[in-house]
Structure 1
Amino acid sequence: MRYLTLLIALFTVSFSPLTPAAGTLTSEAKTAQQQEKQHNASREAKFKQEQQALLAKKKQLAERKAQLDASITSLSDQFSTNEKTLAEQQKQLHLQTGSLGELFGVVRQSAKELQVELSHSVANTEQIQQRADIDTIVAAKTLPSIQELTTLWQAFNAQISSSGTYATITVPFVTGAGEVTTIDAVRLGNFALLAKQGPINWDGQLASDFPRLPDNVSRYEDANNIVTGQTAVIIDPSRGDIYHQLAENPTLTQRFEHGGVVGKIIAGLFLIGLVIALYRAVVLLRIEQQIGKQLKTPETPTNNPLGRVLSVYNHDKKMNVEALELRLLESIMDEQQHLERGLSMLKLIAALAPMLGLLGTVTGMIETFQVITQFGNAEPRVMAGGISMALVTTVLGLITAMPLLLAHNLLSSKADAIRNILERQSVGLVAEQAEVHSTEQRASYAA
């Protein structure tokens, strides 16, 4: 379009009457055309340079790719060769070692067992070098040498030898206040340390008191008599495991404390019921003795249930038979009320105790489930409080209910027996009075 415009302009100028102006325009057009050619040539030269640079870079990348391909091929071949060589070497190693691999496993297993034994042995303070040698054997990754096997054998011999000896040693001791001090103790073999207060617990580094010990335990001063056999004692050969289990078995007081508030309420009801039962038992036994004495002397009524019934009879025996019978029945009912006093409360406590035990069981299970919700059920000791409360309250409720129920039954039977005596005596008195009235009536009819 630019060339066409220039041609039209030249054609127009050539026929224009202004000949000098046409010449100027022709000169400008030629100048512009020359500049355009130079610009195009510069651009073409720049394009050719960039093309040559790209071709050179392409050639370099192709050469680099060829080198990498050759390196990959070489490495792959070398890897395959190494795998074959490694397999052959492993096969040759397995054939050459033979049973040495099994020996290495046995040695390491034995060394680990001895390492655990030494870590808990009460004689480990005297076997520091053996412990270091055993740690080296356990940490080894190669076949054991003759020297290491000899060291292991010597460590076993030292452990066996120390198990049959006793010695006085000084051990670090942790007091109840958390202070670390040193005390003298007697080592009995590899399983017991005796101090002045008795057996002490040894965790491999520090000694401490056991939470709980049985009665008549051995002490520091009893060591010589134990070794010579002059004193027969019981010693824990399990390095304190039995003493720890003894401490984990709670006493009756601790079990009662696990019952919580509900357990204390049940215990209070048991004491109340026991007092009522004992008091009523004493009263009924005394009444039974008084009635027995009264039966021997019915002519002189005294202050007892049968005596009061006889007093009513002596006072109202002139009444007719029906009225006398009612009066005696009234007196017996009054005495029965006194005989059965407190038994209803005893029965109520016997029925209430298992229900309270069930309440404690439900409360303890709710607490257990709350602990499970908060902490999960991975640690049983966390749930022990709720479970203990659930079980202890049930036991307390049953322990309270059974003796109180038995006492209620016995006391009720005793009260019924006394009432039967009163009824039998009253019936006899009524029958006697009826015979008297019948005799008087027959005498009056005869007259």
Structure 2
Amino acid sequence: MRPFSLHKLPLMVALLSLGLAQPSFATDTLTSKAKAAQQQEKQHNAEREAEFNKQEQKLAARKAELEKRKAQLDASIESLSTAFSDNEQALAEQQKKLHLETGSLGELFGVVRQSAKEVQVELEHSVANTEQTEQIAAINDIVAAKILPSIEELTGLWRAYQAQISSSATYAELQVPFVAGNGEITKLDVVRLGNFALLSDHGPVDWDGKLASDFPRLPQSAPTSTDAAGIVTGQTAAFIDPSRGDIYKQLADNPTLGERFEQGGIVGKIIAGLFALGMIIALYRAVVLVTTEQKINKQLKTPDTPTDNPLGRVLSVYNSEKQLHVETLELRLLESIMDEQQHLERGLSMLKLLAALAPMLGLLGTVTGMIETFQVITQFGNAEPRVMAGGISMALVTTVLGLITAMPLLLAHNLLSSKAEAIRNILERQSVGLVAEQAEAQTSEQEDAYAA
């Protein structure tokens, strides 16, 4: 160990003094900083308190203002409620007073308005409305009125009735706007008969209150404007539709035979074609069979001279083959009869096929029409029957066409088959008689040979 040096003692004392003095200096610095921060915080809190007080004063003022306004609104509501109640009571009293003062005039007003509406509807569809514009205006005023009618309005209603009565007993020549088939609007010269008919040079025309147009269909004896004078004087008898065209429109709703056939569509046309083909075959075969029967009847009178007919051909086979044995001759005659039967029944199988095919095609049209109807129902619903009428018409018309075609074809097939069967029976009876005659002859020859 080295000995402690005395000359270093003062330095150590100084260092020790310095170390003891340093903590006191740090403490003073922290204290001053804390005091400064505390002072700053106090100042910040004072500023915030001042701001809060200011906001509190503003909110208090706003609250006072709103409370004042609320009080004013409450007072206004109370005043309005009181006024409303008073008005309701006054209105009830006035209505009661009005009811007592009007008495039966209210019922009169209702009757007048109802009568005016009836006349208004009448004038809207009347063919004489072009000559009654003044009456129409008076009636419209009465219908639109909300108060009791005046004497002038009641007089206008009476004049409208009088004008309708007067015009129903007269006829006049005038011009009306007319809508042609191409949509063009022109002027048409017509004769008005009363309040229900307009006659042009081509017959009655439809009038909807503003425009005239042709009816879809008219009867053959429909009158024209040239017949008007004779109709009025009673010199000309003609059918006049008193319903202002409703009967003519119903006539248009009844389709003709051609229109019903058109409703059958392509299937109906095919059935009609099969019917025509079957009837041609049936008529041709009927002529052939009747002619053949007549020839056979003539041949029965002259059996020794065969001609060109089924029986004559069978006799020719017999004359050429009668030297054969009876059984062989019988087979040859049977063969000849079978050939003739084939010719007699030619076309009858086609008639039977057509008669069976027609109802099946009718059923096909029915199914097709119902499919179309269901498609229409899917698209538009079933609220409007006119929308579904096309498919239902096709379904029913094709069924009817199929049955109408099948019945006469079946009848023709039955009659022609019976006629062919009758001719075949004649041939068989004649051939059996020839075979029996030949058998007797051969038996007689054999007996003579045995006797010899």
Q: Is the partner of 2:240 in helix, strand or coil?
A: coil
- Counterpart residue number, 1:3: none
Structure 2 gaps, min length 5? 1-23
- Counterpart residue number, 1:133: 138
Report deviation, 1:182. 1.5
- Counterpart residue number, 1:148: 153
Report deviation, 1:63. 2.6
Q: 1:420 to 1:35 in 2, by over 3 A?
A: closer
**1:37-84 deviation digits (Å, cap 9, x = unpaired):** 777666555544443333333223223223322333333333333333
- Counterpart residue number, 1:123: 128
Distance of 1:250 and 1:150 partners within structure 2: 48
Percent identity over the alignment is 76
Q: TM-score, normalised by structure 2?
A: 0.86
- Counterpart residue number, 2:167: 162
Distance of 1:212 and 1:30 partners within structure 2: 118
Distance of 2:45 and 2:428 partners within structure 1: 149
Distance of 1:29 and 1:305 partners within structure 2: 151
Distance of 1:152 and 1:419 partners within structure 2: 90
**1:402-444 deviation digits (Å, cap 9, x = unpaired):** 1111100110011111111111122222222223333333434
Q: CA RMSD in A?
A: 2.7
Q: 1:289 to 1:38 in 2, by over 3 A?
A: closer
Q: 1:288 to 1:55 in 2, by over 3 A?
A: same
Report deviation, 1:112. 1.4
- Counterpart residue number, 2:238: 233
- Counterpart residue number, 1:376: 381
The reply to whether residue 90 of structure 1 matches residue 95 of structure 2 is: yes
Q: 1:31 to 1:266 in 2, by over 3 A?
A: closer
1:42-441 aligned at under 5 Å gives the runs: 44-441=49-446
Q: 1:83 to 1:427 in 2, by over 3 A?
A: same
Moved more, 289-298 or 28-37: 28-37
Distance of 1:398 and 1:188 partners within structure 2: 48
Q: 1:274 to 1:29 in 2, by over 3 A?
A: closer
Distance of 1:213 and 1:52 partners within structure 2: 96
Report deviation, 1:320. 2.5
Distance of 2:449 and 2:172 partners within structure 1: 114
**1:240-296 deviation digits (Å, cap 9, x = unpaired):** 222222223322222222222222211111111111000000000001111111111
Distance of 2:313 and 2:65 partners within structure 1: 137
Structure 1 gaps, min length 5? 1-15
Distance of 2:352 and 2:432 partners within structure 1: 31
Aligned AA for 2:200?
A
Aligned AA for 1:68?
L
Q: 1:316 to 1:148 in 2, by over 3 A?
A: same
Distance of 1:429 and 1:288 partners within structure 2: 20
**1:347-399 deviation digits (Å, cap 9, x = unpaired):** 10111111111112212222222233233333333333322222222222111
**1:298-344 deviation digits (Å, cap 9, x = unpaired):** 12111111111112222222323222222221111111101000000
Aligned AA for 1:301?
P
Q: 1:32 to 1:268 in 2, by over 3 A?
A: closer
Q: 1:61 to 1:332 in 2, by over 3 A?
A: same
Q: 1:199 to 1:33 in 2, by over 3 A?
A: closer
**1:170-198 deviation digits (Å, cap 9, x = unpaired):** 11222233322212211000111111111
Distance of 1:416 and 1:34 partners within structure 2: 143
Moved more, 208-217 or 373-382: 373-382
Q: TM-score, normalised by structure 1?
A: 0.87
Distance of 1:312 and 1:30 partners within structure 2: 160
Q: Is the partner of 1:143 in helix, strand or coil?
A: coil
Report deviation, 1:223. 1.1
Q: Is the partner of 2:230 in helix, strand or coil?
A: helix
Distance of 2:180 and 2:366 partners within structure 1: 39
Q: 1:35 to 1:303 in 2, by over 3 A?
A: closer
Report deviation, 1:162. 0.6
Q: 1:32 to 1:255 in 2, by over 3 A?
A: closer
- Number of residues of Structure 1 aligned to a counterpart in Structure 2: 426
